[in-house]
A and B are shown apart, each in its own frame.
Chain A
């Protein structure tokens, strides 16, 4: 092995022997836990503090959000199957499941846009009351994360279709998958605390 190759390998792994990118990304997700914890805390602290409506029970649509939750959970399944496709070297499977992640992620965002629009028509805006402020900031930041994820998946899908996503690139897809699953688990918490435990 050449000296250059050895030096490159040193940068690929931490002193623990684990891939640098993966350690870095898990650390990033640990910090994202704190980010969303602060937003969830804010919502919970101000829960019931609104003096003017609309109040959560008047506007939150459980059947609709249950469907969007199901859609996001299924997108996580598609993501893990896309990674499996890349690891197997199946361009067809990888492209199909990445496309499914994009479609399901886009559908979730569609539900969110509909929900936000409906709330505004009901009189709930970000400045209407503390429920509106904390709700829109929390779910808006989550939606922004989903949007970033959909764009990321679109790049991977394009690479896959062009045959530029081989088993050697599996770590790229795995890291994108970690991000996508993280967005999913944040929604699991939001769905329970904000929608079901009103």
Chain B
């Protein structure tokens, strides 16, 4: 038995099928609706001042839904969450820090 087969067999015993097909379609529907809402908001001029926080929040919700349910992180070992979130956190910090450094700090300094 190969490495993959042994591990896969163990996962089936541990409850490898994490959710029902109907649940996956529900998540797909929610993701489609959020994407449609994002695009609609983009074209509403009245929401322009609040565009960034609204879109970032909706994007974060989509991101979380895919990671938690399609990638099964919600049902899997917390070690996987730790490994992934560590890389994600450092990456997010780099993005925010560089945006602050190049866009916001120069404005503050006049």
Contacts and interface: CB of A to CB of B under 8 A. Distances in A.
Interface in B79-98: 79-80, 83-84, 86-88, 90-92, 94-95, 98
A155 interface: no
A99 interface: no
A181 B66 contact: yes
A34 B51 contact: no
A185 interface: yes
A40 B91 CA distance: 10
A20 B88 contact: no
A181 B67 CA distance: 8
Interface in B1-49: 1, 3-12, 16-17, 21, 24-25, 27-28, 31-32, 35-36, 38-39, 42
Given A73-B31, A81-B24, A171 B8 contact: yes
A84 B24 contact: yes
Contacts of B12: 87, 167, 170
A196 interface: yes
A109 interface: no
Contacts of A36: 91
A145 B71 CA distance: 17
Interface band, chain A:
35 or more
A37 B27 CA distance: 26
Nearest to A178: B71
B52 interface: yes
A30 B4 contact: no
A22 B12 CA distance: 14
Interface of A: 5, 8-9, 11-13, 16, 18-23, 26-27, 29-34, 36-38, 40-41, 44-45, 47, 62-63, 66, 69-70, 73-74, 76-77, 79-81, 84, 87-88, 167-172, 174, 177-178, 181-182, 184-185, 188-189, 191-192, 196-197
Interface of B: 1, 3-12, 16-17, 21, 24-25, 27-28, 31-32, 35-36, 38-39, 42, 51-52, 55-56, 58-59, 62-63, 66-67, 69-72, 77, 79-80, 83-84, 86-88, 90-92, 94-95, 98-99, 102-103
19 contacts: A18-B80, A26-B84, A34-B90, A37-B95, A38-B94, A40-B95, A45-B98, A62-B39, A63-B39, A66-B39, A73-B32, A76-B31, A167-B12, A169-B8, A170-B12, A178-B71, A185-B63, A188-B59, A188-B62
